[in-house]
Amino acid sequence: MTKPVVIIGMGEMAGVFARAFLRNSTAVYPVTRQTDITKTAEQLPWPELVLLAVGENDLQDALATLPDSWRRNTVLLQNELLPRDWEPHQLEEPTVISVWFEKKKGMDFKVLIPSPAYGPMAEFLQQSLATLDIPCRVLDSDEQLLHELVMKNVYIITTNVSGLVTGGTVSELWSNHEELARTIANEVMDIQESLTGKQFDREQMITDMLLAFDGDPDHNCMGRSAPARLERAISIADTADLAIPELRKISKTI
């Protein structure tokens, strides 16, 4: 029996991880908005890991209020995640997983492709998720992690923003609107490169994105967060003085 794990934020995704940890013989302590986090940290100062399962909009507040004793073995799983999101908070070697399975209310999880993870707790995540037959692959370097995070961002923003124009599924997007999808993906990569200060192999990013398309060809392009993702992308581009003409054109039509 390992030490307990703490999960901050108990939404749909957290529920999947909780099941995985429990099946891996690990006790789970949930932290909700009603939980006194300071008192809980005093009672459980050195958990096996602390999974921050809050939404991306709540991540910065969750990191800022994380008790000192919980800043080791922290696990992050949010969408649109980059090192700039956690580095200012002085975490001790966080583990990051790029989640490629979805979980919606009233439905069990659905795997698209294996979820890559990197950090001290990556193998523990892999072992735990395996109890639910959710594939997870452990990465070897920070560079691999950054590639995976950027690719996930390209996938999400490209499909969401394209869906505002085309609707439909990811397979329909690529079959019927490849030029639009490529244009948007490249503008998203402009934004990602400005945020990371790195340059990426763009064709490899597209190739990897298409593997995710193949993992769930019937995945709908436009999620409910699509307008907010587009607005956020344009705001970042404004700060970085990026042109992104296609994204700006789409924003004027919705």
Asked if residue 135 lies in contact with residue 100, where contact means CB atoms within 8 angstroms, the answer is no
Q: What is the mean pLDDT of residues 124-135?
A: 98
Phi and psi of 35, rounded to 5°?
-80, 135
> Which sequence spans correspond to the domains of the chain?
5-140, 143-251
Q: What is the pTM of this model?
A: 0.95
SS3 220: strand
Computed over every residue of the chain, the mean pLDDT equals 96
Query: Superfamily assignment of 143-251 in CATH?
Result: N-(1-d-carboxylethyl)-l-norvaline Dehydrogenase; domain 2 (1.10.1040.10)
Protein fold of 5-140: Rossmann fold (3.40.50)
Query: Which class for 104: exposed (0-12), middle (13-18), buried (19 or more C-beta within 10 A)?
Result: exposed
What are the pLDDT digits (tens) for 51-103?
Answer: 999 999 999 999 999 999 999 899 999 999 999 999 999 898 999 999 999 99
Q: Are 118 and 141 in contact (CB under 8 A)?
A: yes
* Matching fold, domains 5-140 and 143-251: no
pLDDT, tens digit, 9 for 90 and up, residues 3-60: 999 999 999 999 999 999 999 999 999 999 999 999 999 999 999 999 999 999 999 9
